[in-house]
Structure 1
């Protein structure tokens, strides 16, 4: 039986948090056009990651291994792996949103920050925990 250790990937959370905090405190700034380009590039990555995340979430609920005890254990194992994978993807997605927010704050793009926060809310409503 597998242990119930939470999955936590170090994807640079400390650095991302420092970047976001610096942007919030006005320690640096970026030009609007550069920020919009960067955020757009991250959006492309997010589109792919959220699609994969939804697929992994669906895999966690896959049934059909059969009724034998060994099949049920196999199904539980695959479900656990998919759940762990979804957790890691959620962490990465949350980090990317934090990076985008940092860039947007550094360019003082308040309407775009509001739109980003709405995306986060919509994603959470779809079952993706995107808060780092």
Structure 2
């Protein structure tokens, strides 16, 4: 699955170029939905991260392999959720920019950078 920020970057460029415009109120309302979605992705990411440390599989080699497999899948899932969260925040920034809400757009971009940094720190 390819989750990239490509679509968010294109939307940002369209907002900067004036090809994508919204009224400020509509931009705030739309951005709030992406903010909610990004928050949900952050919560799911924390939940999935907890699954990387499952215990109780026993000492057999096959049990250890199974445990390692679940840990890898949890890591992969957390990475997808992190990329989705970052993309949602970048789309939020683009929407705010389209509404002429430059300070809010800058804050949303900063939030996206922090969300991306959380993955690196994890």
What TM-score range do you get, normalising by the shorter chain?
A: 0.7 to 0.9
CA distance in 1, matches of 2:4, 2:24: 25
Task: Give the TM-score taking structure 2 as reference length.
Answer: 0.82
Is the alpha carbon distance of 1:123 and 1:14 closer, same or farther for their aligned partners in structure 2, counting shifts above 3 Å? closer
CA contact (8 A) 2:86 2:116 kept: no
Structure 2 residues not aligned, in runs of 5+:
none
Cα drift, residue 49 of structure 1: 1.4
1:103 aligns with 2:95: yes
Q: How does 1:1-132 map to 2 (within 5 A)?
A: 9-11=1-3, 13-125=5-117, 127-128=118-119
Structure 1 residues not aligned, in runs of 5+:
1-8
CA distance in 2, matches of 1:21, 1:45: 22
Task: Give the TM-score taking structure 1 as reference length.
Answer: 0.77
Higher helix share: 2
- 1:49-102 per-residue CA deviation (whole Å, 9 max, x = no partner) reads 111111111111323322221111011000111111111112211221121111
CA contact (8 A) 2:38 2:84 kept: no
What's the secondary structure of 2:56's corresponding residue?
coil
